[in-house]
Amino acid sequence: MLFPVSGVEVNPLIPPLVAVVVSTFTSMGGVSGAFLLLPFQVSILGFTSPAVSPTNLVFNIVAIPSGVYRFIREGRMNWPVTWVVIIGTLPGLWFGALIRINWLPDPKNFKLFVGCVLLYIGLRLLYDQTPWAKRKKAKIMEFEARVQERLKAVMAQAGTTTGRGLPPAARVKTAGWSLKRVAYEFLGETFSFNAPALFILALVVGLIGGTYGIGGGAIIAPFLAAIFELPIYTIAGAALMGTFITSVAGVGIYYGLALGYPGCETGVTPDLALGALFGIGGFIGMYIGARLQKFIPGTIIRLGLGIIISSLALRYILGFFVG
């Protein structure tokens, strides 16, 4: 089957099947599969024009809504974090799209950029498994364990379970806003973060995401937990919602930029059909991954992903200088 927008010719069953496999394993490792689907499109399908970046964002638009709905339904959506992330990411997406179209249209240069992003993700996954990294994260894990214990107690007292309407104490509530600091309440405790700092982080992540074609959740979530010291329970939904909204905006930005490049719409606008097929596979893969995660040790998953991603990154980077 020929996809006219991208020029890719492939059996329509291949994109969703690849996305199922990728998303099953990456979701078990706590990261999105979008960053690995782009190399597949570039290296295997030969989809190398700037349009591959927004096409990859379509994957998030199709695959994420079910997860976002669940977080909102359970009262676990942290709107203060979500809005700061979105406000910071949107301008970054715009500049990232401009960089992709104007300075990285050449496949060789784009592969170098992709390699650098993948190398960061791969090395971070490997570093997280080292003894010194685990010692550093011990404090965070202890804090998370206490949060989970308190959460179970509150839910048991209210006679409810995750998936249904949660008791007020287990829901995330906005406590206060200012240009410098944002606060929210959770389990009777108030958490706050520096709004300008998170805005700058989101801006950088948006720039990378707009250029690469990812929402940025895999990059920003670890910073929210480790640097801003926010409970993972309260930031997972925000990272997912931020990825979804910025993916929608990213696709719109590329459509808007196509108007400024008459005659090259097929090289800038996303291939919605191809992206949707990847998204359908991702939707299924994330569900399977969530089911299988408890049967496979997290260390093995993250080590395997780290080795695969780092190897692919080095191949792209070395290919730029040797090829």
- Residue 169 within a domain: no
Residue 1 lies in a domain: no
Percent of the chain residues past pLDDT 70, beyond the cut: 89
Contact indicator for 44, 308 with CB cutoff of 8 Å? no
Q: Indicate whether 165 belongs to any domain.
A: no
Q: Is the pLDDT of residue 227 over 80?
A: yes
- Residue 166 inside a domain? The answer is no
pTM here is: 0.85
Which residue range forms the structural domain that includes residue 120? 11-160+175-322
Distances (CA, A) of 162 to 74, 155, 156, 167, 170: 7, 8, 11, 10, 10
Which residue has 């406000």 as its token pair?
87
**Where residue 303 falls among pLDDT bands split at 50, 70, 90?**
confident
Residue 168 domain flag: no
Within a domain: 105: yes
**Which position has the higher pLDDT, 311 or 262?**
311
Total domains in the chain come to 1
Asked if the structure places residue 47 within a domain, the reply is: yes
